[in-house]
Amino acid sequence: MDLVAVLLDASRAALGVPAAAYALAAIGLNLHFGYTGLLNFGHIAFLLVGAYGTAITVDAGGPLWLGVAVGVLAAVVLGLVMGLPTLRLRADYLAIVTIALGEILRLLFRSRPMQPLTGGVRGMEGYADAFYAANPYTAGARYGVGALTFSGNTLWVMTVGWGLVVLATLLLLLLVRSPWGRVLRSIREDEDAARSLGKNVFGYKLQSLVLGGVLGALAGIVLALDRQYVNPDFYLVVFTFFFYTIVILGGPGTLAGPIVGSVLFWFIIQGTESLLRQAINQGYLGGLIDTTDLGAVRLILAGTALVLLMVFRPQGIFGNRRELLLDER
């Protein structure tokens, strides 16, 4: 077994574009779930509208900045559409409605009648050229320390991705320490108490949903720029639960939680995958699983982590248990 290669793979994943994008999406979800107590199971839909807003705008001849603006605006609209009718529902009903809305969007975007606009199941590409044209690094060169290197293009997406993560964290730092953030947490702890103090609970929830959704859309745009290809089937329900794993791993309702969670998540997932791949290639597992099963192993790990964390350490690794009492019906 080559443990150095495993560590390299894991570290590359922990620093790479997906880790940054997932951290960004998880920051948005953390605002919903960790700070406001909203059980949003359709977070992936925000990534979808962000990515497709960008891709469709550029495809129609618009510049990239306009595409990003359209993607963000689409997330605002989706947040309002999702929130206005549903935020009055109890947590479990909200979960069902948001998961259904996410699936509706994915099915619509891949449907044949929508194909002229969205490319249907074939997806869309060619919208990221302007982004890579603005790359300050040399596209072909490798940057990094020792064997841990990234191509210039990847480094450019990483710079933007982690930059957005830092900006979003700073924004949340200001917001959650403001009176606005305190109201959010009071809604999480006891909605009726917040309401009886004259707070417009519905309005605060809606603001939280829209703001977190915009962060999700930015994450979707970062991922779409990295892949240079969007397909509706990138936006399956399961990815929302990756974000939940990340938020709960890092600690819901903490500022650093989503970042720590995402880095850890990708380090563990990629490290395990790399380890298993070596073990399989060298025949240690005796045909129990093969390399095509590794994608499933990733989700088995995420599922196990969700169950164990939620039962034994719902405050995550760094969270404070007393801070988080989102257990009341």
Partner 1 sequence: MRSPPTTRALPAALLLLAALLLAGAAGPAVAAQPDEGEDATSVGGTVRAEGDGVPGVRLFAELDGEQVAETRTAGDGTWRLELPGAGRYRVTLDVDTLPEGTALRNPDRNPLEVDLRAGQHRALLFPLGERAAAGRGTLDRALDLGVQGIKLGAIIALAAIGLSLIFGITGLVNFAHGEMVTFGAAVAFLVNVSAVGPRWHLLVAAPIAVVAGGLFGYALERGCFRPLRRRRTGLIALIVVTIGMSLFIRHVLLILLGGQRRTFADYAVQRAASFGPVNIAPKDVVIIVLALAVLVAVGLALQLTRTGTAMRAVADNQALAAASGIDVERVILVTWIAGGALAALGGVLYGVTESVSWDMGFRLLLVMFAAVILGGLGTAYGAMAGGLLIGVVSEVSVVWFPVDFKLVFVFLALILTLLVRPQGILGIRERIG
Site for partner 1 in 227-246 (CB under 8 A): 228-229, 238, 241, 244
Shortest spacing between CB 186 and partner 1, in angstroms: 17
Per rule CB under 8 A, is residue 200 in the interface with partner 1? no
CB of 92 to partner 1, least distance (A): 4
34: three-class secondary structure by DSSP: helix
Query: Between residue 35 and residue 54, which ones bind partner 1 under the rule CB under 8 A?
Result: 37, 39, 41
Between residues 145 and 311, which has the closer beta carbon with respect to partner 1?
311
Nearest to 21 by CA among 128, 119, 147, 164: 164
Considering the rule CB under 8 A, would residue 1 count as an interface residue with partner 1? yes
Cβ proximity to partner 1, 135 vs 278, nearer residue: 278
CA–CA distance, 14 with 20 (Å, rounded to integer):
8
Side-chain-side CA neighbours of 78 within 13 Å: the count stands at 30
Q: Is 310 an interacting residue with respect to partner 1 (CB under 8 A)?
A: yes
CA distance 46 to 221: 10
Is residue 147 at the binding interface for partner 1, with CB under 8 A as the rule? no
> Which residues on adjacent β-strands are paired with residue 148?
145
Instruction: Work out how close the CB of 243 gets to partner 1 at its nearest, in angstroms, rounded to a whole number.
Output: 12
Q: How far is the CB of 43 from partner 1 (least distance, A)?
A: 13
Per DSSP, helices labelled H in the chain are 3-15, 17-29, 44-59, 64-86, 91-110, 115-118, 129-133, 152-176, 179-189, 191-196, 201-227, 237-250, 257-281, 294-312
- Alpha helices, H only, 87-200: 91-110, 115-118, 129-133, 152-176, 179-189, 191-196
Q: Does 162 bind partner 1 (CB under 8 A)?
A: no
- The residue within the footprint of partner 1, chosen from 100, 139, 170, 256 (CB under 8 A), is 100
The answer to whether 317 contacts partner 1 (rule: CB under 8 A) is no
Stretch that binds partner 1, among 1-9, 57-65, 205-213, 216-224 (CB under 8 A): 1-9
Q: Would you say 193 or 238 has its CB closer to partner 1?
A: 238
Is 3 a binder of partner 1 (CB under 8 A)? yes
> What does the CA dihedral 41, 45, 46, 50 come to, rounded to 10 degrees?
160
Q: Figure out which of the listed residues 25, 58, 74, 99 binds partner 1, where binding follows CB under 8 A.
A: 99
Considering only 107, 117, 197, 256, the residue that binds partner 1 (CB under 8 A) is 107
Neighbours of 292 (CB within 10 A): 8
User: Could you tell me which stretch among 51-59, 121-129, 203-211, 218-226 binds partner 1 (CB under 8 A)?
Assistant: 121-129
Residue at token pair 């850890």: 264
Of 46 and 241, CB closest to partner 1: 241
Which of 139, 296, 318, 321 binds partner 1 (CB under 8 A)? It is 296
Of the listed pieces 23-31, 48-56, 214-222, 284-292, which binds partner 1 according to CB under 8 A?
284-292
Distance between CA atoms of residues 83 and 97, nearest Å: 10
Residue 59, classified by CB atoms within 10 Å of its CB into exposed (0-12), middle (13-18) or buried (19+), is middle
10, 25, 12, 33: which is closest to 223 by C-alpha? 25
Candidate segments 149-157, 164-172, 206-214, 287-295, binder of partner 1 by CB under 8 A: 287-295
Which amino acid would we find at residue 309? L
**Other beta carbons less than 10 A from residue 80's beta carbon:** 14
Segment contacting partner 1 (CB under 8 A): 57-65, 103-111, 207-215, 259-267? Answer: 103-111
Tell me if 86 contacts partner 1 by CB under 8 A. yes
Smallest distance, partner 1 to C-beta of residue 6, A: 9
